[in-house]
Amino acid sequence: MIAPGEKIATDISLQVVRDGVARETTLAGLLRRRTVVSVYMKNNTPSCDRQNEALAAVAAELARAGYDLVGLSRDTVGAQTRYAAKRRIAYTLASDPEDRFSKAAGAMMEKSMYGRTFVGPARAAYMLEPDGTVLAVAPKVDTAEHAAQLRALVAGLPAARPAE
């Protein structure tokens, strides 16, 4: 998994939804200031919903601290749009069905569900500088305590430039 101080490729193509509007962009297009990218598997599943609830709880606090927030999953941009409306999500949701971000972060792992083994993205969170430099990583997101994990990571970093 990518480590603090390393750079992630920022030319990764993503479809995103924010405020009900879907568009195509690159990771670089999302990195206007420090950004938290929180990776989860699939909308409308209990653990992933808890992770997004934790993100929603800390979104305004992160914004005040100078961070943008992106929730990223394998869901299509259409599914992300419906999910954002249903859950009233105010931060950006990114669609990455090909796991481009997780592959670039070296965060693909073997998983097992219902006796079936497959490779998927690690449930992790990354704090990134606008140039793609990794500031911090939560390599294993605790879905119920994700807000606290992010607060701890922010507290351990030098202050970001305030929002303009």
Q: What is the pLDDT along the chain (164 residues), one digit of tens a residue?
A: 999 999 999 999 999 999 989 999 999 999 999 999 999 989 999 999 999 999 999 999 999 999 999 999 999 999 999 999 999 999 999 999 999 999 999 998 887 777 888 788 999 999 999 999 999 999 999 998 999 999 999 999 988 765 55
For residue 72, is it within any domain? yes
Q: Which domain holds residue 84?
A: 13-153
Query: Could you tell me if residue 3 is inside a domain?
Result: no
**Cα 164 from Cα 75, distance rounded (Å):** 31
Q: What is the pLDDT of residues 142-161, one digit of tens each?
A: 998 999 999 999 999 988 76
Half-sphere exposure of 32 (CA within 13 A, CB side): 12
**160, part of any domain:** no
- Which amino acid is it at 29? G
Q: Evaluate whether residue 89 is within a structural domain.
A: yes
Residue 75 counted as domain residue: yes
Residue 17 parent element (H or E): strand 13-18
- 142 lies in some domain: yes
Whether the CB-CB separation of 38 and 123 falls below 8 Å is answered with no
For residue 7, being part of any structural domain is answered with no
Question: Looking at the domain assignment, is residue 38 inside a domain?
Answer: yes
Domain count, the chain: 1
Residue 54 and residue 89: Cα distance in Å, rounded? 11
Q: Residue 127: give its domain's CATH number.
A: 3.40.30.10
Rounded CA-CA distance 36/141 in Å is 13
**Residue located via tokens 């105010």:** 90
